[in-house]
Amino acid sequence: MAVEPVTSLSGRMPDQAPESLRRPVSAQAAETAVRLEAVRKVFGETEAVAGIDLEIADGEFFSMLGPSGSGKTTTLRMIAGFERPTSGRILLHGRDVTGVPPFDRDVNTVFQDYALFPHMNVSENVGYGLMVRRVDRAERDRRVTEALRMVRLAGFGRRKPSQLSGGQRQRVALARALVNRPRVLLLDEPLGALDLKLREEMQIELKVIQQQVGITFIYVTHDQEEALTMSDRLAVFSEGRIEQVGSPADVYERPTTPFVAGFVGTSNLLRGDVARAVIGSEGTFTVRPEKIRMTDPDTAAGDDELFAMGEIRDVIYLGSDTRYVVALDAGGELVVTQQNLETSSMEVLEARGRAVRLAWKRRHVLALEGGPSAGEEEARRNP
Amino acid sequence: MTGTATAAHRAFGRRLATALYRRPRLQLGLLLGPPLGALVIAYLGALVLLLINAFWRYDAFIGRVVTQPTLDNFVQIVTASVFRDVAVRTVLTAGAVTIADAVIAFPIAYYMARVASHRTRNILVVAVVLPLWSGYLVKVYAWRVMLLNGGFLDSVLAPIGLRGPGLSDVSAWLVFSYLWLPYMILPIYAGLERIPGSLLEASADLGARASTTFRRVILPLTLPAVIAGSIFTFSLTLGDYVTPSLVAGGTQFIGNIVFENIGVVGNTPLAAAYACVPIVVMLIYLLLARRTGAFESL
Ligand SMILES: Nc1ncnc2c1ncn2[C@@H]1O[C@H](COP(=O)(O)OP(=O)(O)O)[C@@H](O)[C@H]1O
Ligand SMILES: [Mg+2]
């Protein structure tokens, strides 16, 4: 699936994962790798994690997405064993590890600050886990070399971490974790310190590596785009709770709460009087900006379309797209994105102040917070 | 009037700043010149005088120093067994003091840097530094009173059938270890505090137990700090003469011999030559420390 376009960039991609780093594919494909049961963590006055239930399947690329302070890191650290839950249970592959120290868990972590040992060279860093577990020298050297080749750092073994760039350090941290063949790899905003270009490259690289080695990745990020592009499934965190769990398409196209609608993508909420005027029913609704068609005020409505009149308040030119903020006549505002197919930046920017008609398909309206969706509403009215 | 004057003033200041900006070396020179000059004169000057002195000769017959180059002093301190014994005793004591301080300081510093709460940490830092504010002589005399035969230590230990060390080499070691302990704790504390917590977590994450993490991560990363501390404890012991004269019960250290030769006998050349012993020992020590790579990771 998503692998296709990625591997066609082959020149830049890591070599095929060497045998020693690949995990044997488990017999039962959907075995649970990590299971959290009512996990809570309280620091003094703050409840960092407020009761989380979660199941992550073996071999999955799972992201934890949420704003800063929403409890993602704390959750990850409890899985790693650096923090003990105040209450609740953590199971790794069916084994209760709630009270097990980090060194006895089959889990490895890629730290946000990389946490490379400054007094060891790259090879010693990568081989640390094997050395500690008394893997013999020859085997260790072989696996370290393979791991370094996989992250495209062959030949860097003798350098000190201080002699590497940020992206290279990041890859050393990744190799150091992967070389131990953990069953679960935890990554806490591993690309946070990299510049945009490098970050996008590393996103692809990480995803490819994950598919090659078949290890469960649990990936913490506050970047919704990153979570949407990389994950098989993701959990959206807010204030120590999980708001929604699902595939990227699920979470993006069918957000279940206003928070998710707002955090993943642009919120475009319609509520109260505005909802009544535009949608024709009570509740809180959302429409994705790219699902909205923006036309002249006098264009005729299509079948099965909802519409609203308004005035363009703001224009944000984004290169390939333009984002328009439209103040609705009924009150409130909607954000609309349009591709710049034939328009130039000049034309686009002149659109400010223009009266427009916004139209969208009924099925693209989502009801939030358990209110009836627009489709259900219709079914109720015309049985 | 004043307006143009300040403007001209400012323009000059700006030109000067620009000139300095373009010549970073000049800037550095102006910054470091005065203190470096003072250091060279005060430090190296004294050292050079000392060295020159060591090659002169004290004529016991006329009771004066004769400015006539000779190696006699050095021959004497190498051949005479008294000088050798005292040098060996001093160096061994300095080594023993350093080891004792390192062993005591590490857990304390570790507790301060990585376990204690913010408040406790501040209290402990003050507690460690506080003794340095009180008089050196007072502390040594207090120890002397405790150590004296039949003194405080003896009476405390009597019920369990033991005696204190009295006034002896062991006492000197004990008092030195006490005196220089803060100089060992503080650098180790600073060194431990500088280690990011994530390194210790990474070590545990990769399968290392606490003892392995200590050996493979904490110790190598704090070694420069331990060596920095040991330079203090070692050199301070080598150079001291007050503590041995008060608590060592008559055994002599390098400092005592230097002091006697200058103050009592007036044989400054011999004292100067003998004072070269701790300098040479320290040089060897620093070279060895450098060999361990301790300065590279500083
Ligand atoms: N060691 C700690 N002591 C006290 N409070 C903490 C600690 N770690 C995290 N917190 C608090 O818990 C909340 C969640 O933090 P965190 O898990 O780091 O969030 P995120 O990774 O989503 O940004 C925050 O309010 C944070 O201040
Ligand atoms: Mg975080």
Q: What is the pLDDT of residues B206-218, one digit of tens each?
A: 999 999 999 999 9
B157 and B37 within one domain: no
Compute the distance from residue A68 Cα to the ligand 2 centre, in Å.
6
> Range with the lowest mean pLDDT among A17-21, A216-220, B180-184?
A17-21
- Average confidence (pLDDT) over A218-243: 93
Residues A70-116: tens digit of each pLDDT: 999 999 999 999 999 999 999 999 999 999 999 999 999 999 899 99
pTM (2 d.p.): 0.76
Domain locations along chain A = 19-254, 266-381
Residues B127-159: tens digit of each pLDDT: 999 888 888 899 999 999 888 887 888 888 888
**pLDDT of the residue at A4:** 39
Q: Structural domain of residue B48, as residue ranges?
A: 2-53
pLDDT at residue B1 is higher than 60:
no
Chain B residue whose CA is closest to A180: B206
B48 and B175 within one domain: no
Contact A180 B207 (CB under 8 A): yes
A330 touches chain B (CB under 8 A): no
Among the partner-chain residues B206, B209, B220, the one whose CB lies closest to the CB of A180 is: B206
B66, part of any domain: no
pLDDT at residue B163 is higher than 50:
yes
B27 and B103 within one domain: no
**pLDDT of the residue at A2:** 39
Ligand 1 in contact with A71 (CB < 6 A)? yes
Q: Rounded to the nearest 5 degrees, what angle is found at the Cα of B134, between the Cα atoms of B130 and B140?
A: 115
- Residue A262: CB atoms within 10 A of its CB come to 16
For ligand 1, atom 7: residue with the closest CA: A43
B65, part of any domain: no
CATH class name, domain A266-381: mainly beta
Ligand 1 in contact with A221 (CB < 6 A)? no
Q: Rounded to the nearest 5 degrees, what angle is found at the Cα of B279, between the Cα atoms of B55 and B39?
A: 90
* pLDDT category of residue A38 using cuts at 50, 70 and 90: very high
**pLDDT of the residue at A28:** 47
pLDDT at residue A160 is higher than 60:
yes
Contact B205 A107 (CB under 8 A): yes
Contact A129 B207 (CB under 8 A): yes
Contacts of A176 in chain B (CB under 8 A): 206
SS3 per-residue string spanning chain A: CCHHHHHCCHHHCCCCCCHHHCCCCCCCCCCEEEEEEEEEEEECCEEEEEEEEEEEECCCEEEEECCCCCCHHHHHHHHHCCCCCCEEEEEECCEECCCCCHHHCCEEEECCCCCCCCCCCHHHHHHHHHHHCCCCHHHHHHHHHHHHHHCCCCCCCCCCHHHCCHHHHHHHHHHHHHCCCCCEEEEECCCCCCCHHHHHHHHHHHHHHHHHHCCEEEEEECCHHHHHHHCCEEEEEECCEEEEEECHHHHHHCCCCHHHHHHCCCCCEEEHHHHHHHCCCCCEEECCHHHCEEECCCCCCCCCEEEEEEEEEEEEECCCEEEEEEEECCCCEEEEEEECCCCCHHHHHHCCCCEEEEEEEHHHCEEECCCCCHHHHHHHHCC
B163 and B289 within one domain: yes
- Residue A95: CB atoms within 10 A of its CB come to 11
Contact A128 B216 (CB under 8 A): yes
* pLDDT category of residue A10 using cuts at 50, 70 and 90: very low
B68, part of any domain: no
Which of these, A70, A60, A41, lies nearest to A237 by C-alpha position?
A70
B83 and B43 within one domain: no
A111 touches chain B (CB under 8 A): yes
- Average confidence (pLDDT) over B16-32: 79
Which residues pair with residue A333 across a beta bridge?
A: A327
Out of A5-19, A37-51, B57-71, give the one with best mean pLDDT: A37-51
Report phi then psi at A165, rounded to 5: -80, 170
B280 and B165 within one domain: yes
B62, part of any domain: no
B153 and B250 within one domain: yes
B143 and B182 within one domain: yes
Q: A323-342: buried (b, 16+ CB within 10 Å) or exposed (e) per residue?
A: bbbbebeeebbbbbbbeeee
B200, part of any domain: yes
Q: Which of 3.40.50.300, 3.40.109.10, 3.30.70.270, 1.10.3720.10 is the CATH number of A19-254?
A: 3.40.50.300
For ligand 1, atom 27: residue with the closest CA: A69
B67, part of any domain: no
Tell me how close the Cα of B207 comes to any Cα of chain A, in angstroms: 4
Burial bucket for residue A290 (CB in 10 Å: 0-12, 13-18, 19+) = middle
* pLDDT category of residue A25 using cuts at 50, 70 and 90: low
Which of these, A87, A93, A92, lies nearest to A39 by C-alpha position?
A87
Q: Indicate the top mutation candidate among A63, A74, A219 to test ligand 1's pocket, ranked by most ligand atoms within 8 A of CB.
A: A74
Residues B98-112: tens digit of each pLDDT: 999 999 999 999 999
> How far, CA to CA in Å, does A51 sit from each of A89, A98, A222, B178?
10, 15, 20, 52
- Average confidence (pLDDT) over B15-21: 81
Ligand 1 in contact with A72 (CB < 6 A)? yes
B141 and B43 within one domain: no
For ligand 1, atom 6: residue with the closest CA: A43
Contact A306, A360 (CB under 8 A): yes
Chain B residue whose CA is closest to A162: B297
Of ligand 1's atoms, which has the minimum distance to the CA of residue A68? 23
Residues A301-313: tens digit of each pLDDT: 777 788 889 999 9
> Range with the lowest mean pLDDT among A88-102, A247-261, B89-103, B178-192?
A247-261
Contact A339, A321 (CB under 8 A): yes
Q: Of residues A349 and B84, which shows the higher confidence score?
A: B84
Neighbouring residues of A27: CB distance < 8 A, sequence distance ≥ 6: none
Of ligand 1's atoms, which has the minimum distance to the CA of residue A44? 4
Contacts with B, A 129-188, CB within 8 Å: 129, 132-133, 176-177, 180
- Average confidence (pLDDT) over A307-326: 88
B176, part of any domain: yes
Contacts of B203 in chain A (CB under 8 A): 117, 128, 132
Angstrom distance (rounded) from CA A324 to CA A312: 7
**pLDDT of the residue at B4:** 67
ipTM of the complex: 0.77
Of ligand 1's atoms, which has the minimum distance to the CA of residue A47? 12
* pLDDT category of residue A344 using cuts at 50, 70 and 90: confident
Compute the distance from residue A112 Cα to the ligand 2 centre, in Å.
9
Q: How many domains does chain B have?
A: 2
Q: Tell me the pairing of strands A61-65 and A233-238.
A: parallel
SS3 per-residue string spanning chain B: CHHHHHHHHHHHHHHHHHHHHHCHHHHHHHHHHHHHHHHHHHHHHHHHHHHHHHCCEEECCCCEEECCCCCHHHHHHHHCHHHHHHHHHHHHHHHHHHHHHHHHHHHHHHHHHHHCCHHHHHHHHHHHHHHHHCCHHHHHHHHHHHHCCCCHHHHHHHHHCCCCCCCCHHHHHHHHHHHHHHHHHHHHHHHHHHCCHHHHHHHHHCCCCHHHHHHHHHHHHHHHHHHHHHHHHHHHHHHCCHHHHHHCCCCCCHHHHHHHHHHHHCCHHHHHHHHHHHHHHHHHHHHHHHHCCCCCCC
**pLDDT of the residue at A382:** 44
B36 and B158 within one domain: no
Chain A residue whose CA is closest to B215: A132
Contact A103 B216 (CB under 8 A): no
pLDDT at residue A271 is higher than 90:
no
B101 and B7 within one domain: no
B212 and B126 within one domain: yes
B195 touches chain A (CB under 8 A): no
Among the partner-chain residues B196, B208, B221, the one whose CB lies closest to the CB of A115 is: B196
**pLDDT of the residue at A118:** 94
Ligand 1 in contact with A117 (CB < 6 A)? no
Tell me how close the Cα of B216 comes to any Cα of chain A, in angstroms: 9
Which of these, B262, B237, B265, B263, lies nearest to B87 by C-alpha position?
B237
Residues B272-281: tens digit of each pLDDT: 889 889 999 9
Angstrom distance (rounded) from CA B81 to CA B77: 8
Compute the distance from residue A127 Cα to the ligand 1 centre, in Å.
31
* pLDDT category of residue A9 using cuts at 50, 70 and 90: very low
B59, part of any domain: no
Neighbouring residues of A245: CB distance < 8 A, sequence distance ≥ 6: A54, A233, A234, A235, A236
The single-letter code of the amino acid at A64 is M
Contact A310, A358 (CB under 8 A): yes
A297 touches chain B (CB under 8 A): no
A103 touches chain B (CB under 8 A): yes
Chain B residue whose CA is closest to A114: B198
* pLDDT category of residue A377 using cuts at 50, 70 and 90: very low
Ligand 1 in contact with A46 (CB < 6 A)? yes
**pLDDT of the residue at B23:** 79
Contact B297 A118 (CB under 8 A): yes
Angstrom distance (rounded) from CA A273 to CA A279: 10
Angstrom distance (rounded) from CA B232 to CA A142: 45
Among the partner-chain residues A119, A129, A133, the one whose CB lies closest to the CB of B221 is: A119
